[in-house]
């Protein structure tokens, strides 16, 4: 039964400081017994999508590249799986919000590109990110088969389902989500509840673990709400981080239990795939 660690951290303006801080946290998590270690969304920088500024494209890096090579060396040294999220420069003028997976032997297993790109006040992501084109993926690691999705993907049951259908036992969501000051008093509790509840629903519907890694701290007008969590296949939250504190949150994943659970609650068996054609429509009118 692997142990997973979620790195809930604040961010600096300088990428080098964030990379060094995250490496230190990875090493600490490994010393605590973690075997799968996950970063928050876009961990190398502050959440720059609050405004539209072409200078922010300078934060992007190639995948694979020097940063992933650094993680390969680190994963091999520590014998851990690393799941990290960053800003991918695919080509001049073409960028993605991506996450990569490095196995415990240091091999680069590949990366996923965020499929659902939001556009809201304080979350100007369509200016920066091209929607993903690699499809939904699951990565066979030393410690289990994991699927990676990113933040806004959290709200879409189709993304969770299709990743689970690839064989993922754990769905990992690097995240950057928080409250805006004009909304928090009236809607803050409801917004957080919706975020946690929908992901717990994905865990139940797909008989898998859900892992959501959020950042913490205030950047500009956004107060990131932390509260990274792990939910099991019953949708029960088995580990949860605080709101305003940095945290290395750990949890044990009972992956063998998923086999028995899926035998008793055979959602995949009973899917009526012959009746879902209209899911490919924008709206069934």
pLDDT for the residue numbered 121: 87
Q: What is the mean pLDDT of residues 251-279?
A: 96
pLDDT for the residue numbered 13: 93
List the domains of the chain with CATH numbers.
3-265 (3.60.110.10)
Can you read off the two tokens belonging to residue 75? 């994963």
pLDDT tens digit string along 220-241? Answer: 999 999 999 999 999 999 999 9
Asked if the model's pLDDT at residue 285 lies above 90, the reply is no
Say if residue 135 is preceded by a cis peptide, omega within 30 of 0: no
Can you read off the two tokens belonging to residue 147? 């699927």
What band does 189 get if pLDDT is binned at 50, 70 and 90?
Answer: very high
This prediction has a pTM of 0.97
Q: Where are the alpha helices (DSSP H) in 32-133?
A: 66-78
Q: Tell me how far CA of residue 95 lies from CA of 64, 113, 127, in angstroms.
A: 14, 10, 10
Are 213 and 173 a contacting pair, CB within 8 Å?
yes
- Tell me the DSSP string of 186-211: HHHHHHHHHHHHHHHHHHHHHTSEEE
pLDDT tens digit string along 22-64? Answer: 999 999 999 999 999 999 999 999 999 999 999 999 999 999 9
Report how far residue 178's alpha carbon sits from residue 251's, in angstroms, rounded to the nearest whole number. Answer: 23
Q: What is the mean pLDDT of residues 93-109?
A: 98
Mind telling me the catalytic residues?
41, 114, 151
pLDDT for the residue numbered 1: 87
**Which residue has tokens 């993304």?**
159
Report how far residue 69's alpha carbon sits from residue 101's, in angstroms, rounded to the nearest whole number. Answer: 11
Asked if the model's pLDDT at residue 169 lies above 90, the reply is yes
pLDDT for the residue numbered 55: 97
Instruction: Tell me the CA end-to-end span of the chain in Å, nearest whole number.
Output: 47
What band does 155 get if pLDDT is binned at 50, 70 and 90?
Answer: very high
Residue-averaged pLDDT of the chain: 97
């Amino acid at each position: 039964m692997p142990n997973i660690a979620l790195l809930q951290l604040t961010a600096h303006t300088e990428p080098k400081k964030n990379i060094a801080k995250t490496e230190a946290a990875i090493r600490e998590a490994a010393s605590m017994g973690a075997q799968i270690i996950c970063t928050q969304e876009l961990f190398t920088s502050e959440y720059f999508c609050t405004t539209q500024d072409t200078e922010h494209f300078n934060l992007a890096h190639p995948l694979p590249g020097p940063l992933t090579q650094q993680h390969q060396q680190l994963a091999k040294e520590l014998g851990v799986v690393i799941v990290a999220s960053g800003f991918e420069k695919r080509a001049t003028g073409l960028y993605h919000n991506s996450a990569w997976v490095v196995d415990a032997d240091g091999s680069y297993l590949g990366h996923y590109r965020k499929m659902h790109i939001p556009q809201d006040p304080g979350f100007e992501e369509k200016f920066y990110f091209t929607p993903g084109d690699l499809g939904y993926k699951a990565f066979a690691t030393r410690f289990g088969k994991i699927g990676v999705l990113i933040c806004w993907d959290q709200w879409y049951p189709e993304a969770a389902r299709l990743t689970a259908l690839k064989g993922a036992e754990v769905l990992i969501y690097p995240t950057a989500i928080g409250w805006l000051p004009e909304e928090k008093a009236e809607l803050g509790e409801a917004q957080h509840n919706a975020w946690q509840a929908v992901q717990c629903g994905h865990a139940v519907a797909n008989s898998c673990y859900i892992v959501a890694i959020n950042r913490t701290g205030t950047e500009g007008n956004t107060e990131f709400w932390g509260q990274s969590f792990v939910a099991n296949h019953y949708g029960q939250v088995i580990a949860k981080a605080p709101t305003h504190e940095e945290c290395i949150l750990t949890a044990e994943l009972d992956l063998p239990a998923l086999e028995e659970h899926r035998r008793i609650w055979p959602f995949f068996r009973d899917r009526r795939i012959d009746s879902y054609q209209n899911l490919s429509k924008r709206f069934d009118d």
